[in-house]
Amino acid sequence: MDFEEKIDAMRMTLELAMHDIEAQRVNIEAMGVRIENLRVASASQYESIQAMSINIQATSINVQALSEDVQALAKISGELVQVSASNERRITKLENRV
């Protein structure tokens, strides 16, 4: 191979390397865009998780309040049953007098 053929071969190798480098640069830029999109999505998910956590805490407070209401209603229901039974006994006594 003479000098010019060697230079041409080196030039072609250099051009191929430059094309490869440019393709890698484009890929790196595309990856940067994807990474940024993932960061935005991750931040959005983080905010959603925080909002869900707040909702869970509020729901827990509501459940506790409802539990207290159910206990109060159970107590009142028990008292009403006792009053009803007492009234039934009084009615039965009155009926037996007649």
Token representation of residue 61: 């407070």
Residues in the chain: 98
Instruction: State pLDDT tens for residues 57-88.
Output: 999 999 999 999 999 999 999 999 999 999 99
pLDDT at 70: 96
CA distance 61 to 55: 10
Rounded Cα distance, 70 and 77, in Å: 10
pLDDT on residue 96: 87
Compute the distance between CA of residue 60 and CA of residue 50 in angstroms, rounded to an integer: 15
φ, ψ of residue 49 in degrees (nearest 5):
-65, -40
